[in-house]
């Protein structure tokens, strides 16, 4: 009975912790959703301008718009620094690992850029080539927090260190659903540019369309990475809120089962004591 009572107390303490973590994650999820939504108009407007230049000016050329023979591939994956978020990290890391195994025969054929401690530790244990990493991000990250890794990933593509760049992150649908997503970041398809450009958009460029494109294309790719990070943060808090909610429900169920077991053991002990008292009284009579 003493062991059962100690176990009940332990589960009650754990339930308080998981409940508090669920509430904290719910609060941070709301802020993360607002940040992701606030970043979309800027990304959409930049996409409109970039694609308008790329599709409307025939003389414009840029390495980020040109397809090359694929000799090496870059992957930028977004994970979290902390666990206790259900399958948030495992799902995206599993998807990327399966892709690498299917596409590449050796580690010389790909390069990894990692955001988040969980991803870094995962690839470090498997001795996979990580070019650059960012860990210790705040709950509400700014672009400055990932500027170095985003700049390096885009710059290395421009310098032909690899011939395509993929972005891996969890797309936020709702607190219960996060979809592991692969998005080809570079090169930007000229066909996509033509489809996405606004037919009614008209711009004047200074000093030239090529000069504006040279400045905007790297910024646009970096903006896509930051937008994916904000989406990933919302997914992380949604997954953590769901996981901690399930943990709280499981703790409640265990407490109820242990309480029932404790009450039965207590009732059995009382019954045994009464039987012993009655037996002793009968013996004396």
Residuewise pLDDT in 10s, the chain (285 residues):
889 899 999 999 999 999 999 999 999 999 998 898 888 888 888 878 787 777 766 666 777 878 889 999 999 999 999 999 999 999 999 999 999 999 999 999 999 999 999 999 999 999 999 999 999 999 999 999 999 999 999 999 989 999 999 999 999 988 889 999 999 988 876 555 445 444 555 667 777 777 878 888 888 899 999 999 999 999 999 999 999 999 999 999 999 999 999 998 888 888 888 888 888 777 776
CATH class of 2-19+244-284: mainly alpha
Q: Looking at residue 189, what DSSP letter applies?
A: P
Where does CATH 1.10.287.80 sit in the chain? 2-19+244-284
DSSP state for residue 63 in the 8-state scheme: G
Which residues of the chain does CATH 3.40.1380.10 include?
A: 39-239
CA distance 127 to 166: 20
Q: What is the rounded CA–CA span in Å between residue 26 and residue 19?
A: 11
Three-state DSSP at 162 gives: coil
Question: What are the φ/ψ torsions at residue 140 (nearest 5 degrees)?
Answer: -120, 80
pTM: 0.85
Burial of 232 (0-12, 13-18, 19+ CB in 10 A): buried
Q: In the beta sheet, which residues pair with residue 130?
A: 112
**Angle value at C-alpha 68, between 209 and 164, nearest 5 degrees:** 90
Q: What is the pLDDT of residue 202?
A: 67
CA dist., res. 160 & res. 129, Å (int): 17
pLDDT at 284: 75
pLDDT of residue 275: 83
- Looking at CATH, the fold of the domain delimited by 39-239 is given as Pyruvate Kinase; Chain: A, domain 1 (3.40.1380)
């Amino acid at each position: 009975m003493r062991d059962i009572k100690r176990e009940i107390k332990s589960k009650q303490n754990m339930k308080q912790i998981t409940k508090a973590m669920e509430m904290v994650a719910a609060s941070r999820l709301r802020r993360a959703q607002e940040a992701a939504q606030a970043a979309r108009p800027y990304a959409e407007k930049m996409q409109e301008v970039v694609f308008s230049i790329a599709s409307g000016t025939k003389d414009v050329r840029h390495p980020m718009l040109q397809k090359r023979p694929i000799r090496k591939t870059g992957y930028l994956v977004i994970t979290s620094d902390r666990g206790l978020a259900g399958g948030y990290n495992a799902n995206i890391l599993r998807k990327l690992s399966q892709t690498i195994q299917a596409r590449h025969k050796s580690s010389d054929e790909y390069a990894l850029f990692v955001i988040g401690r969980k991803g870094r530790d995962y690839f470090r244990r498997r001795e996979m080539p990580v070019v650059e990493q960012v860990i210790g991000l705040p709950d509400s990250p700014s672009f400055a927090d990932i500027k170095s890794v985003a700049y390096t990933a885009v710059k290395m593509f421009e310098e032909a260190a690899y011939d395509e760049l993929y972005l891996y992150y969890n797309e936020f649908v709702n607190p219960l659903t996060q979809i592991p997503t692969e998005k080809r970041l570079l090169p930007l398809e000229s066909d996509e540019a033509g489809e996405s450009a606004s037919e009614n958009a008209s711009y004047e460029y200074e000093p030239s369309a090529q000069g504006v494109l040279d400045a905007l294309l790297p910024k646009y790719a970096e903006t896509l990475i930051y937008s994916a990070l904000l989406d990933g943060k919302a997914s992380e808090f949604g997954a953590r809120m769901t996981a901690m909610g399930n943990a709280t429900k499981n703790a409640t169920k265990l407490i109820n089962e242990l309480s029932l077991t404790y009450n039965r053991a207590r009732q059995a002990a009382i019954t045994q004591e009464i039987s012993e008292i009655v037996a002793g009284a009968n013996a004396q009579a």
